[in-house]
Structure formats: C-alpha cells, structure tokens
Structure 1
C-alpha cells in the first residue's frame, strides 16, 4: 500500500500508541512516526528524547521510521512523499477532534487521506497525560508504556 505518517507528541509513547504502530506497520509499506515539536505544550521529555525512545521500541519493525517535525503535517507529508495520515481513536471525543483535523488537512491538501484506527479496548483509557499523572503520584505504570522506557519516565519525574 502507501506510505503513512502517524503524528503525535508521544510524551511519552504508550502501549496504546505502540499497538497502533505495530498493527498499521502490517498495512502500509512504510510508516513514519512523526514526533511533533510543539512549543506551546509543556513536555516531560524533549523532542529528541521522545524520538530516541520511540526508535528504541520500534527497532524490530523494519518499515517504521521515526522523525521529528514542526509546522504543518501536510508539509512533512509532502517532504516524505506520504499520502496517508494515520490517527488512533480511543473514544467519541477523539473522533470529533480528529474529524475536524482531518477536514482541515483535506482543505490544505485534498490529495492526502486520513485513516482512523480504533484502539484495542484494553487501551481505550490510556493517554500520555494519564501515564505522567500516575507516575507523578507514585503509581505503577507497568503495562501502560513499553517496559524499556519506564526507567526514563521515573528518572525524569524524580528530577523535576
């Protein structure tokens, strides 16, 4: 099939994100995980730290690349020759927001398509924000994020 981009802040990447990445890597010839540089958002990890974390957890998926970007997603798509935006959905509220974004992206470039993938039910409650909150309050985040990044999250939270 085509080349797709899965954009997001991934601060941090969750098992829900990783599940979407693994499942869609079987659908598209190439999947680019686009890590957004968003200066308006206060992040736990720098964009470079997030890129490295994601590269580490997807290293066994040969058709998945990780790339940081800023600016319009459409510009990254044109630069990478991608025709599909991949968005994961957990709930109706996700759909409402993502539908608006898909409509805006279609207005910016009608040649780009947005594909929605529903999360597995076991991840429908999971978000990067909830992971950070649980970790900040001393709760267990095992099973919420890839095992290899748990020490990074704990270390970063303890240093703040």
Structure 2
C-alpha cells in the first residue's frame, strides 16, 4: 500500500489544501493528513478543532485519515508506516524552504521521499495566514475555504 503523509498546520484548512488532498488520493492508496502542533505559530484553532474541521471536509474523500502529531515528522511517519511526504507548493518562493525540509527529512530517514505537488493555479495565492487576515477584517471567505468551515472561522474570529 502506498501511503503518503500530507503534513501542515491547516489553521484553517483552505481550498488549496483540499485541492492537494483530493489530487493526492489519485496518486496514493492512502493520504494521512498530519496536523502539526506547531510551537512556532500562534493558532486560531486549537489542534482538536483543526483535526475536526479537516475530518468534516474530507469525509467524502476515500482513503483519507486525519491525525494530529507533534515532534519530528519522520517519527510520525514511522508510526503510520508511510514513506512519502506530500507537500503542496503554491509558488517558487515555497520551494526553497520545502526543499531544505525535504533534504533534512531525507538525512534523518533516507527511506523517506518527498513529493512536491503544485497547487492548482486558482489557489496559488491562497494561504491560511491570508484567510485569517481576510476573516479578521470581515472579508469574503467564499472561494478561499470550504463553505462548511466558514461559520467556524467567523465564530472563532468573533471570539477573539
């Protein structure tokens, strides 16, 4: 079975993330969305909320599992017997950082490969950070995130 891990903060999940997941299941038998507890970022949603949002929007996509993790990605991958990291790239500017991470992961665990998948052009500008900024200033979220998570984002922003 070909299993890939698609890691990220997903705070919140965007249509760009969903695009990579939807296309990834056509390449791999199973995609594990690894929701990272990122100590370097202040999150809008806590880890359990992010996992739940992703589960909700991916429940109709076959062979997707959503799990949170902290620590090294390669340790998480060993736990799930996965040997491919799936990473979405929006633009060339993403590549340098992701390439360095891929080399580091390969150094730590040579059996692990990283596959870069270009996000579809209509989502190349999209990031969770941009979504949070738009939401903060009461901008339109339709077309940026899955419709079913828009109320969750608005409610969370209103609580802040």
TM-score range, shorter chain: over 0.9
Distance 2:136 2:40 in 1: 21
Q: 1:26 Cα deviation (Å)? A: 1.1
Q: TM-score, normalised by structure 1?
A: 0.98
Off by >2 Å, runs of 4+ in structure 1:
none
Instruction: Give 2:115's aligned residue.
Output: 115
Normalised by the length of structure 2, the TM-score is 0.98
Secondary structure of the residue that 1:40 maps to in structure 2?
coil
Q: Are 1:59 and 2:59 matched, yes or no?
A: yes
User: 2: distance between equivalents of 1:120 and 1:9?
Assistant: 20
2:143 pairs with 1:146: no
1:107-155 CA-to-partner distances (Å, cap 9, x unmatched) read 0000000000001110000000000000101100101000000000000
RMSD: 0.7
Partner deviation per Cα, 1:27-46 (whole Å, 9 max, x = no partner): 10110000001123100000
1:61 Cα shift? 1.3
Q: Where in structure 1 are there 5+ consecutive unaligned residues?
A: none
Distance 2:83 2:39 in 1: 26
Matches of 2:7 and 2:158 in 1, distance apart?
Answer: 28
Correspondence for 1:8: 8
* CA deviation profile, 1:57-96 (whole Å, cap 9, x unmatched): 0001120000000000000100000010000001111001
C-alpha distance in structure 1 between counterparts of 2:122 and 2:41, whole Å: 27
> What CA distance in whole angstroms lies between the structure 2 residues aligned with 1:155 and 1:135?
10
Give the aligned partner of residue 72 of structure 2.
Answer: 72
